[in-house]
Amino acid sequence: MPYPFPYGQTVTIVRRSVSGQDEYGNDVYSTSTQTIPYCVIHPAVSNENINFTDQVSTEFNVYVPAGTVVGPLDAVLGPDGTKYEVQGDPQAYVSPFSGLRAPIQIRVLKVAGMAE
């Protein structure tokens, strides 16, 4: 049985790192990807903004195996190819009772729509 979630889904972590600067001094990013099997993706909250716009934001929680490297600049591609931006720092937890490391919780967000 695969750890940690035998019926989990496969996600792809899109890692971004600064690889230089453009002619205006703005950071230029390069990306690399890593496929992570046996993850859990569950919906958290969805909001609609209709004040001078038609925009929907959808937040999910993603749990990846302990030890997976994820940072706040990264993104997550869901099993259906939807891209979600990582929000804040991923949360890692080590049990003070057993010393076991729990799966890492990543809060991700997708915003769709446009402002007028």
pLDDT over threshold 50, residue 116: no
Band of pLDDT at residue 4, cut at 50, 70 and 90 = low
For the chain, state the CA radius of gyration.
17
Dig out the tokens for 25 from the structure: 């001094």
User: How far is Cα 33 from Cα 10, in angstroms, rounded to an integer?
Assistant: 13
Task: Delimit the domains of the chain by residue range.
Answer: 9-115
Please give the average per-residue pLDDT across 100-112, as a whole number.
92
Please give the average per-residue pLDDT across 54-73, as a whole number.
92
Q: 3-class SS at 74?
A: coil
Considering the domain 9-115 in this protein, what is its CATH number?
2.40.10.370
With 0-12 / 13-18 / 19 or more C-beta atoms within 10 angstroms meaning exposed / middle / buried, residue 88 is: exposed
Q: Which of 36, 109, 20 is nearest to 70 (CA)?
A: 36
The mean pLDDT value of the chain amounts to 90
pLDDT over threshold 90, residue 115: no
Please give the average per-residue pLDDT across 59-86, as a whole number.
93
* pLDDT score recorded for residue 1: 45
pLDDT over threshold 90, residue 106: yes
Please give the average per-residue pLDDT across 45-52, as a whole number.
85
Peptide bond into 96 cis (omega under 30): no
pLDDT over threshold 80, residue 102: yes
* pLDDT score recorded for residue 55: 87
